[in-house]
Amino acid sequence: MEVADLRVWFPVTGGILRRTTGWVHAVDGVSFEIRRGETLGLVGESGSGKTTVGRTIVRIIEPREGAIRLDGMDLLALRGSALRRQRRRFQMVFQDPYASLDPRQTVGDTLAEPLRTHDLATGPARSGRIAELLRLVGLDPAFVNRYPHEFSGGQRQRIGIARALAVEPELIVCDEPISALDVSIQAQVINLLEHLQREFGLTYLFIAHDLAVVRHIADRVAVMYLGKLVELASSDALYSRPLHPYSVALLSAVPVPDAAAERSRRRIILQGDIPSPSSPPSGCRFHTRCWLRERLGNPEVCVSTEPPLTAPEPAQPDHAVACHFVPELTRMARPDDVVAATTPANPA
């Protein structure tokens, strides 16, 4: 799948006539590709536009501009029955397992609906397919007549995964599928997603804010900030040597399971709040909170010119960064060197 220059703006209305007075720039010129069989992680703060990207890909939200292509097919040009036929190829697992299932439908009804919509099975074949889906996600087929309130959060999320698998998709958008679950259940759901990917050759867009989980599951990682992609790289490259100041700050906050190493680490604490997407900053979106800009004397280029998402090093063409001063970061060997150059050590 290829996403090109995607823009999703939501109108801000006011007055008695509810006229449009402004726009919320939820996603503002995002481009990336998802390769067949891989997991692309999409990370960033709350409000950065991650979920909006995922919902736009599956056509829950219509974009203002841009293109979404699946094997070269323009999905945004499809309507009606043509779009319905292609929906079999891409599905979504939603964030909240307590809100994503209809409380008035049994598990069997929930899983039968996509089969009925796409005419995939009828009669005994449909019942057999529902039982197979429940077994695939680790649930007892005898649960078929139960309602969502009779299940735990982890079990509900498994039902949501089974619903996405029902139409045999190629791409699944996972919108923070474990954020509402306990830690022990999170590991079970992640292991399930990895097992299903190996068994069926699935492709995932994995949206999350937990960088430790993304490191475990993702082949490549895209970092979003205020509707923009600021860095895109392989998981190994991003976690070993981030090149955008925002990525460095995010990774400096990820705890490590080593008490001595944790005490010696430096952390970057970003000042202020993320700006409003209805009035985003000019130039680089991150310049109002950028610790590197402060270190370099607040150069005006950050305010006046938006940096393109480009590969700063010819040897790493898949590592793209949107920053005017990437050379400052590339001269520092490791993320901890970057942090140590800007902040004092944590107190013992």
| pLDDT (0 to 100) of residue 283 | 95
pLDDT above 80: residue 256: no
Average pLDDT over residues 10-30: 91
| pLDDT (0 to 100) of residue 209 | 87
Distance CA 316, CA 287 (A): 25
pLDDT in tens, 45-99: 888 999 999 999 999 999 999 999 999 999 999 998 899 889 999 999 999 888 9
- Percent of the chain whose pLDDT exceeds 70: 92
Q: What is the pTM of this model?
A: 0.89
| pLDDT (0 to 100) of residue 333 | 47
CB 228 within 8 A of CB 270: no
Q: Which residue has the tokens 């919108």?
A: 175
CB 200 within 8 A of CB 164: no
| pLDDT (0 to 100) of residue 262 | 63
pLDDT in tens, 272-331: 888 999 999 999 999 999 988 888 888 999 999 999 999 887 767 789 999 998 877 777
pLDDT in tens, 154-168: 999 999 999 999 999
Distance CA 16, CA 33 (A): 43
Q: Looking at per-residue confidence, does 255 or 64 come out higher?
A: 64
Tokens of 240: 């070993």
Average pLDDT over residues 220-241: 94
pLDDT above 60: residue 9: yes
Q: How far is CA 238 from CA 142, 205, 225, 284, 329, in A?
A: 44, 17, 16, 20, 13
Distance CA 10, CA 7 (A): 10
| pLDDT (0 to 100) of residue 340 | 47
Distance CA 217, CA 296 (A): 35
Q: Mean pLDDT of all residues in the chain?
A: 89
pLDDT in tens, 23-52: 999 999 999 999 999 999 999 988 899 999
- Every domain of the chain with CATH number 3.40.50.300 lies at 34-46+81-218
Res. 334 pLDDT band, cuts 50 70 90: low
Res. 126 pLDDT band, cuts 50 70 90: very high
Q: Looking at per-residue confidence, does 174 or 274 come out higher?
A: 174
The answer to which of 9-18, 191-200, 213-222, 335-344 has the lowest mean pLDDT is: 335-344
Per the CATH hierarchy, to which homologous superfamily does domain 34-46+81-218 belong? P-loop containing nucleotide triphosphate hydrolases (3.40.50.300)
Average pLDDT over residues 138-148: 95
CB 37 within 8 A of CB 201: yes
